[in-house]
Amino acid sequence: MIFMRKALPFSVIHADLGGLAERVSGFTTTRSGGVSLGCFGDGQGGGGLNLGMHVADCEQSVAINRAKLNCILPSDVMFFSQVHGNIVLNASDISGSATGDAVFAAQPGIVCGVLTADCLPVLLSDKNGKVVAAAHAGWRGLAGGVLKNTVAEMRATGADEIVAWLGPAIGPEKFEVGREVLDAFSDGTGRVPEPYNYFVPRDQRRYPGKYFADIYGLARALLKSENVSQVTGGTRCTVTDEANFYSYRRDGVTGRMASLIWINPS
C-alpha cells in the first residue's frame, strides 16, 4: 500500500526524501484534526491531534487520536519512551516498556515514529528504500550521538547512501540556550566543526551566557560528519507557527506531533 496523500483525514507535513516517494513514505503530523481539547486542541477552538500519552491530556482522547493515525498507516506505530539519549531501537522488537530516541526498520510496512514538540525529528532512508529510521533529536540527543548511532545501525542493516529530512522544530531565532549547550557541541561525542557557526550570542550585558542555537544547522553538521550530505527540510519553526504545531517552549503544557516513516509494501 503506497501512502495516499489525498485520503488523509488531517493535515501533515510531507517529508522530502529526494525522489523516494514510490518506495518510502514519511510525514510529520500537525496539531489539527483530532479530538483533544483545551491546551491540547488545535489552537482555533477545535479538536487537536495530540499523540502524546504522557502530557496530562485525556487518555481516551489520545487513544482516539492514535487510532485515527493508525487507520492511514500500513501497521500500527509503536511509540516508546524517549529519554533525550542516543539509544536506537529496531522497530520489529519494540515493546510497551522500550526506551530510546531513534528507531529503524528494514521490513516493508513497519512504521518508525517519534514524538516531538520543539525537539527536532529527523527522518532517514537509504536511496534504495531498504532501510528507514526516525530520530528524536533534541540538543542532548544530538550532542550525545543519536544521529551517529542511527546512521551506524542503518548501515549495519544494509543501507547504502543515506538521505535525511529535518522536520518541524524550534527555530534558530527562538531557541535560547545557555553556555552548557555550546560546550556540549565543542567537546565529546557531539562535537561539531566550528560550533560558533550555530550559536549567536545575545547581548551579554543583558543576557550573560545566553545564545540562540540553530538546531537545524547542528543536525546538518553532524549528519555531514557521518557522510550524509543530502539533507532537506529544517524550515518550519514550531514556536512561531502556533496554528500548525504544538510547542513546549511556547506553551509549557502542550501536545505532541508524530514524525513517521516506513518502506511501502509492494
Q: What is the pLDDT of residue 1?
A: 41
> What is the value of pTM for the model shown?
0.96
Q: Which residue has the cell 517519534?
A: 114
Q: What is the pLDDT of residue 29?
A: 98
Domain boundaries, the chain: 8-169+230-263
SS3 state of residue 155: helix
Tens digit of each residue's pLDDT (9 = 90 or more) over 205-253: 898 999 999 999 999 999 999 999 999 999 999 999 999 999 999 999 9
Tens digit of each residue's pLDDT (9 = 90 or more) over 86-101: 999 999 999 878 999 9
Mark residue 44 as left, alpha or beta (left: phi above 0; alpha: psi -120 to 50; beta: remaining): alpha
**DSSP E strands: which ranges in 37-187?**
48, 81-82, 88-90, 99-100, 102-105, 112-116, 120-126, 132-137, 162-166, 176-178
Q: Which residue has the cell 510497551?
A: 96
Mean of the pLDDT values across residues 109-116? 98
Tens digit of each residue's pLDDT (9 = 90 or more) over 30-88: 999 999 999 999 999 999 999 999 999 999 999 999 999 999 999 999 999 999 999 99
Distances (CA, A) of 239 to 14, 29, 48, 220, 251: 19, 15, 17, 20, 9
C-alpha 113/C-alpha 70 separation (Å) is 11
C-alpha 151/C-alpha 159 separation (Å) is 9
Q: What is the pLDDT of residue 3?
A: 54
SS3 state of residue 231: strand
CB 262 within 8 A of CB 107: no
8-169+230-263 adopts what CATH topology? CNF1/YfiH-like putative cysteine hydrolases (3.60.140)
Q: How many residues does the chain have?
A: 266
SS3 state of residue 95: coil
CB 120 within 8 A of CB 216: yes
